[in-house]
Chains A and B, each alone.
Chain A
Amino acid sequence: MTIEAVQGLPANERRRLFDIWETAPGLYGWLATVDHKKIGIRYLCTAFFFLIVGGVEALTMRIQLAQPGLKLLSPEAYNQLFSMHGVTMIFLYALPMLSGFSNYLWPLLLGSRDMAFPRLNALSYWVYLFAGIFLYISFPLGQAPNGGWFNYVPNTELQYDPGINIDIYSLGLIFLGISTVVGSANFVVTLLRCRAPGMSVNRLPILVWGTLTASVANLLAVPAVSLACFLLWMDRRYYTHFYAISGGGQPLLWQHLFWVFGHPWVYALVLPGMGIVSDALPVFCRRPLVGYTLVAISTVSTMILGFGVWVHHMFATGLPIVALSFFSAASFVIAIPSAIAVFAWIATIWTGRPQFKTPFLFFAGFVLLFVIGGVSGFMTASVALDWQLTDTYFIVAHLHYVLLGINVFPVVGGIHFWFPKITGRMMDERLGKWTFWTMFVGFNLAFFPMHLIGLMGMPRRVYTYSAELGVGGYNLLISFGAFLFAAGILLLLINIIRSRTEGAVAGPNPWDAPTLEWSVSSPPPPYNFAVIPVIASRHPLWEDRLDETPDRSTIHRGLVLDEGKETVGITVLDAEPDVILKMPADSLLPLLAALGMMVIFSGMLFINYWVMAAGALWTGLVLLVWLAPRDHASTERPTVYG
């Protein structure tokens, strides 16, 4: 059996670990699981579902825009669709999809048995799911958010938008923010405490760097948008005047609060995607990444600079020229770390031996899209030129090259890459290549011409346009490309569904990849690692062949930790074993807490104080039980195997 070949622990010991770690069978286990792998798969599936929903919204809009003056959609319907398309893709697809990868992979990459806070992990997923449902309840009510994902005031104040559309938006984002913040905190603490011994910071996979950086950024950025939304809700329902000028409020306050969150958020949506490429592309080049340290540093510095460029979304708001010049210059500088990453990827391919498997195609295609999205970003960084470019289709082209190029392409490549690990079966190569070429051609047909119609001055966020602009032909081509791209996603879906049962059996390491997740069986056992490995390099499974240093990681010998649900806690910097962490068992508390919050937010939506109070009481009681004192760690001497 494959497990034996990879993990040297005797069968009875493995059985014991299996019994300790396995999620309970049946409905209870389904609702109560805290296994990071199960939660990760849920994130991936839910986010993929929202990708399809957001995609259908986009296709509907593309039919309306295929020719000037079409009347398929009413202006109100179009405005709801484009707002929900943005909200769905940015909030419900892009980050949760990456959280799915990271949730599934982090403990496996880091050599741990779970995330630092498994129950918090489950809470993060349930809150995400319920917030998604909360936002989508608006559709059957015909009152979906209609102020754009950026939701500028005063257009979204009660006076101009009297329905519950915007209340759903603002409360939904606050609700979702809880999920993001607890998830991010979990990633940060997991990195600090739950790595395998020897996994020092210079040995972390770049995906870990990306998610870590994004998580720290989220902790700092999400409160800004939650606050902005809360103030808006107060303006709308309690007649405060944070944004309304009639009471001395300031519309630009919204824009600052929103973009001081929004711009770092964009980087949070791409850095883990870049991490996926930095880790998986080298596998198909048969060599380690060129310039690991540079890429890790560029990841972090992108994020730091990312906090200093938000005003480039506000170049046309009439702020003083000195301020604009500063933010313009900062926006140019942020291209430098991105350039480092591009050069490192190309150098890796150049000095490696590319294998043309499906994931490689997605990653190589990604590099090209990254460059195109990057240079159009460079053009918008110029404050003077941006006065023309902003709010035209040029920006729509730019942001889709960035978000699809740097998020969707790495994600789909990552799905092909880790599918064998997650399911134990390979995806079909031929269908995979068809998927890539359909998506790649469709994507460029759909989004490249948007640069041109942007330069021709077609404004964005319009439900129709005049034939006089001369952009009808391009728009028809764009709509055709959008449907071709969607066909690519459909092929991907077919491949996933078919390969799950019919794909070739993968074995533990089908790609001959170097990192820890490939040292365990596919799919991994509930306990991940039979013994806690000790890490001696960035490429534990390539050490013998690369022979860079005399040190070797030990994967088959080490701590067993079978006295209960345990994993090892390490010191922050040196990754020395420090403590044995007692991990929590399956629990319904996360689901119950998330349900309680759903009740609170529903009460807030309809301003019903009884419902709000009931939800608060419910959530409070659940948290009380959750936080009841118990043993979290022990320093007893653990069993060492081997």
Chain B
Amino acid sequence: MKRAVAGLFSLLMLSNCARAPLGYLDGAGPAARSIASLGWGLLGISVAVCLITGALLVFSIFRRRSQTDGLGGGDDRSALRWIGVGLSITTVLLLASAVWTLWTVRGLSDTSRAAAVTIDVTGQQWWWEVRYRSDTPSREFSTANDLVIPAGVPVQLNLRSRDVVHSFWVPKLAGKMDMIPGQTNRIRIEADRPGIYRGQCSEFCGMQHAQMAFFVIALAPADFQTWWNHQLEPARSDPDAAAQQTFMEHCAACHAIRGLSAGGILGPNLSHFGSRRTIAAGILPNDSRNIALWLRDSQGVKPGSKMPELHLAANEVDTLTAYLEGLK
């Protein structure tokens, strides 16, 4: 009875794990799902091995014995036979797990379905540049920290790094793939249904490795096309000359905005910034309070961030906040 309760309890805990935003025992796409079933399988074997070996250990310690004081014990040959039995079971389990693993890898490497979109994702300290590729150069554009994809189709990602090693990870959709300077690693992700999936850098990349998150937003294919077309338009239809002036003075050296002569490439491209979910790579929800906070005190919010302290006047902060928020 106790054991059943304990078993139920641990199962509940594990399904909790699966539901966590970065939990990968429950996949939301084909790749993550096939890894998740492998994970449950190996986890099951592991738990069983621990329970059986633990029980053997406890029983071997507490089993009843004839009371003698001498040295030595029993017949080694029968003990060795049991070791042989245990070893055979171990070997079979290992072999089966290896085959299952390789089978899964084979499935994951299958590229027979053509990718619907190709996206370059470039990791840098400590944010993600996202560039949508197209056969028509005029339809290409850049954004940051939000990776919008069409649901239900494979998406090809080319992963690169501009500085140190990062690792691209959206646990609900696929396993990790490192972003290594000087090479391009390719990975496919696919989301079954529209939804929002959390991502996280998972290779230590310096001071702010902890705060390098992002979101994958899967849209229905038609919505995705609309979104793409919208991204190609200038960010704002009602140009506010004063605000633009402030932006050009303080921000344009590092940031670009479509439709403006601001063309900096050191920081994220801010076209349509107002429609993004978060600020500073997934760490603050994108609202006017947080934009103002970030403009006033980037080093307090994210120490070491490449976004410098701007020493803006209060009215400049307000102007820029309103301007950035309006970039929908």
**A interface residue numbers (CB < 8 A to B):** 74-76, 79, 147-148, 150, 152-155, 160-161, 245, 250-252, 285-288, 290-291, 294, 316-318, 321, 324-325, 328-329, 332-333, 335-336, 339-340, 342-344, 346-347, 349-354, 364, 367-368, 371-372, 375-376, 378-379, 382-388, 390-392, 452, 455-459, 461-466, 468-471, 542, 545-546
Contacts and interface: CB of A to CB of B under 8 A. Distances in A.
Contacts of B72: 286-288, 545-546
Contacts of A324: 105
Contact of B200 (A75, A287, A376, A459): A459
Contacts of A329: 98, 102
B283 A316 contact: no
Interface string B1-32: 00000000000011011101111110000001
A385 B203 CA distance: 17
Contacts of B185: 317-318
B109 interface: yes
B83 A350 contact: no
B64 to A, nearest CB: 11
A294 B211 CA distance: 49
A378 B164 contact: no
Nearest to B23: A456
Interface of B: 13-14, 16-18, 20-25, 32, 34-35, 38-39, 42-43, 45-46, 49-50, 53-54, 56-57, 59-61, 63, 65, 68, 70-76, 79-80, 82-83, 86-87, 90-91, 94-95, 97-98, 100-102, 104-105, 108-109, 125, 163-165, 167, 169, 171, 174-178, 180-183, 185-186, 198, 200-211, 213, 283, 303-304
B39 A452 contact: no
Given A350-B79, A382-B38, A390 B101 contact: no
Nearest to A380: B42
Nearest to B106: A321
B18 to A, nearest CB: 8
A351 B165 contact: no
A150 B38 CA distance: 29
A463 B21 contact: no
Contacts of A542: 71
Nearest to B81: A347
A340 B61 contact: no
B83 A387 contact: no
Q: Which of B60, B79, B198, B200 has the most CB of A within 10 A?
A: B60
A245 B165 contact: no
Given A75-B210, A252-B180, A353-B65, A457 B24 contact: yes
Contact of A336 (B16, B94, B183): B94
A118 B56 CA distance: 45
24 contacts: A75-B207, A75-B208, A250-B182, A286-B73, A288-B72, A290-B79, A290-B83, A318-B177, A328-B102, A336-B90, A342-B53, A351-B73, A353-B65, A375-B46, A376-B46, A384-B38, A384-B108, A388-B175, A452-B17, A455-B24, A459-B22, A461-B210, A463-B210, A464-B211
B21 A457 contact: yes
A457 B177 CA distance: 15
A353 B64 CA distance: 10
Given A352-B73, A388-B171, A316 B176 contact: yes
Contact of B97 (A287, A316, A332, A367): A332
Contacts of B65: 353
A121 to B, nearest CB: 35
Contacts of A290: 76, 79-80, 83
A385 B209 contact: no
B14 to A, nearest CB: 7
A313 B196 CA distance: 30
Contacts of B79: 290-291, 347, 350-351
A68 to B, nearest CB: 11
Contacts of B57: 346, 349, 364, 367-368
Nearest to B177: A316
A152 B97 contact: no
A155 B56 contact: no
